[in-house]
Amino acid sequence: MHWLTSPIAAPALPATWLIATGASPTNLAERSALRRETARRIIAAQLSLPIEAIAVGHDERGRPLLVRPAAAGLHLSLATRAGFVALALAQHPVGVDVERVEPLAALPLATLHPQERKALLALPEPARPLAFAQLWAAKEAYVKALGTGFARAPESFAVTLTAQEAFSVSDPERLTSSSGSSRIIKNGGQESLAAAVVVLG
């Protein structure tokens, strides 16, 4: 997986872009417009096309798709958090998510798989907010790749953080396990955001 932080072409796909836009969208419509315009700029660079040739829409479930050029055959996923836009592009179904690390927030443990809860509670308390953000970003990226969103219960499958920048997903509804890649975004030396991406083969 290639990770990029500027809207330039990736050397190969799959790739994920994490773009600090500096924008502060205040509602759903503004976040959607920011995601769409950032995506159009990146996809235009990736396909060596003018931005006017790129159109991003949504399917009936709300999953983003590349409307034009339709023949590109690419899957995409988008996320927005704290002025960052994440875009994942792949030849197979893909999901990306970005979550804020909330050091003072109570962790919603009931939304996690029992295996995830056990792993989280085994960590020293100061490490839990970052680990939870990593887990939740991975879970949301996975259901986006499935195309279900959280119509699929988040506690029905388990994410395991296998390394600082990698994780696996065990899903009883799929024959093979999936794996993903993650990144931590720091602000002033503190972990502030966790990003994750999953590509389903």
Residue 97 CB contacts under 8 Å (≥ 6 apart), including other chains: 79, 86, 136, 137, 138, 140, 141, 144, 195, 196
Q: Among 6-20, 138-152, 160-174, 183-197, whose mean pLDDT is lowest?
A: 183-197
Sequence length of the chain is 201
The residues pairing with 166 across neighbouring beta strands, listed in sequence order, are 163, 181
* pLDDT band with cut points at 50, 70 and 90 for residue 133: very high
Cα-Cα-Cα-Cα torsion 102, 136, 26, 51, nearest 10 degrees, comes to 130
Could you tell me the pTM of the whole model?
0.92
Across 149-167, average pLDDT: 91
Q: So what's the pLDDT on residue 171?
A: 95
